[in-house]
Amino acid sequence: MSSPTLDLTQPLSEILRLSTKEAHDSIAFSPAAAKLSNGELLKEEYVRFLMMLWHVYAALEEGLERHATHPVLEPTYNPTLLKRAPSLSSDIAQLLQVPESTWESHPLHQSLINSPPQAMSAYVERIHAISNSGDPTPLVAHAYVRYLGDLSGGQTIRHSLAKAYNLDEAASEGLSFYAFKELSSSKPASLGEMKRIKDWFRNGMNEGAGDNVAVKAAIAQEASDVFRYNGDLFGAILEHPDLDQVQKELPVSPKAHYGSGFAVSSVLAVITAVSVAHFFLVVGGFSGPRGFAKLAAAEQWFTSFWGATV
């Protein structure tokens, strides 16, 4: 059941934002997620992860298509805009340097399906169970967690992966999973447009659920479970008992990472933060008791601003 402190009279998007924050943060700071975000996975590990995601998205998007006219699901159903399974298939083939029609027979994928991680099996089975049930509305939770995650954190991951695996980011070479089109055209979506897509999706969820507190409670509970499924899937990235047998089949390895170094982007971020802090302290007059109050107000503004943009 949903948390007793959850106000189910709020729009569904706000309920999900509040009810999943802790689960989201837990996954974001997990070891496997950190390796993925920093481009530190072996190429074999990353491709295997994409294969697991492909199975998840294939199940999810089959279910969404099957129930496309359901009143709760219809407002957010836009496969032209959101569908990810075809992009994953293309990226896997690109990374393996094989025709797209053949990657499923690659030793790395055969190893995966012969000994599927429990995390992947449980995730896919749950999606199938919802799709085959009399109430497919919890699929909204699965779409929410996956698609909005791809539109948000996925864009940062994309830059790291391009550098790690020598991919052409401008051409989306092996990175089409993280590329989206604009809402109203076939042009590549900018970061600003991706925010509009997320707003469109949230509004669609709110429209679909309406004021039905039972529907909102069920979706909120499922969303918490979906984060757990994704956390387990991240953990499965580093579980590869047969990886040594297929490692030689992969054509490229990631660039070397130097343990004592720092990413240039991280250094620039720190420098920028220090510079901004210095500016506010000097120009804004943040000194003494009154200055401290102003500093606290500024901190609150920054927090609310970033929270509104994610």
- Based on DSSP, count helices (H) and strands (E) in the chain, helices before strands: 15, 0
Report the C-alpha gap between 58 and 64 in whole angstroms: 10
Q: Is 147 annotated as a binding residue?
A: no
**CA separation for the pair 198, 309 (Å, rounded):** 10
User: Are the beta carbons of 91 and 177 closer than 8 angstroms?
Assistant: yes
Asked if residues 130 and 136 have their Cβ atoms less than 8 Å apart, the reply is yes
Alpha-carbon dihedral of residues 89, 94, 96, 101, nearest 10 degrees?
50
290 belongs to an annotated ligand binding site = no
Q: Is 17 marked within a binding site?
A: yes
d(CA 85, CA 34): 23
Check whether 66 is labelled as a binding-site residue: no
Measured CA to CA, the distance from residue 30 to residue 115 in angstroms comes to 24
- CB 166 within 8 Å of CB 76: no
- Residue in the structure block whose two tokens are 């709110």: 206
- List, as residue ranges, the binding site: 17, 24, 144, 202
- List, as residue ranges, the binding site for heme b: 17, 24, 144, 202
